[in-house]
Amino acid sequence: MRLTWYGHSAFLLEARDGTRIIIDPYRSGAFSNTLRYAPIGDTADAVVASHAHDDHGATDTIPGHPLCAIHPGSLNIGPFTITGLPTFHDTESGRKRGDNTIIVVDVEGLRVAHLGDLGHELDAAGRAHVSMVHVLLIPVGGFYTIDATAAARTVQALQPQVVIPMHYKTDLVDMPIAPVEDFLRTQSRVMRIAGSTLEITLETLPAETTTMVLEHAR
């Protein structure tokens, strides 16, 4: 599987047979231009989103005619099996910011979990649903989501082999969220990747949990 981070919480996953899914595409210029990553522009077979906010659920910006699902339940796209876990965007059962869906993707023997705008730590049932995850895409910036400390506890609870932080402040984000460094200080194994794309297979997974910081593609 090939994984590309566009920026913010948007990712492209590509299977060996060429099937492509995009998760949580943003709308460039959203929220009064506080999110300035360039438009994605790539095509995909399916686009799924954890929720409908413009920095995650801009499924209409993906060209072509992909299958689109916001708050997905369960669906299959080529070799991808996608399962959604209902959660919340805040610590108040959604009363403040609404619902969030964790997107779990199984492909080629790998399990990838995209936590979307998770606003609370997972309970036992949530951890069980996301169990045996190999690659964890986790928000770390706080304010709208779990912060660095809660993200670190989530990583410890789930024990993935690869952790990819997302939804943090960069030079193209003016939201009141923290930069990635706060989270990185909680992690014992950190790799900064020169680029926005990773090739991940069962055979190449690290033996210990490793946080990999990608460069945004847009």
Domain of residue 13, CATH code = 3.60.15.10
Q: Helix H segments across the chain?
A: 30-33, 124-129, 148-158, 181-184
Predicted confidence band of residue 80 (pLDDT cuts 50, 70, 90) = very high
pLDDT of 134 reads 98
Phi then psi for residue 21, to 5 deg, are -125, 145
In a domain, 147, yes or no: yes
pLDDT of 131 reads 87
Q: Which residues contact 37 (CB under 8 A, 6 or more apart)?
A: 6, 7, 8, 10, 26, 28, 172, 173, 216, 218
> DSSP letter string over 164-215?
EEES---TTB-SS---THHHHTT-S-EEE-SSSEEE--GGG--SS-EEEEPP
Its pTM surpasses 0.95 = yes
How many distinct structural domains can be found in the chain? 1
pLDDT of 116 reads 98
pLDDT of 117 reads 97
Please give the residue range of the domain that contains residue 47: 2-213
Q: How far apart, in Å, are the Cα atoms of 71 and each of 23, 74, 88, 190, 192?
A: 11, 10, 11, 31, 31
Predicted confidence band of residue 115 (pLDDT cuts 50, 70, 90) = very high
In a domain, 218, yes or no: no
Q: How far apart, in Å, are the Cα atoms of 119 and each of 42, 99, 150?
A: 29, 9, 10
In a domain, 203, yes or no: yes
Strand order across the beta sheet in which 197-199 lies: 67-70, 46-49, 20-23, 10-14, 2-7, 197-199
On the question of pLDDT at 186 being above 90, the answer is yes
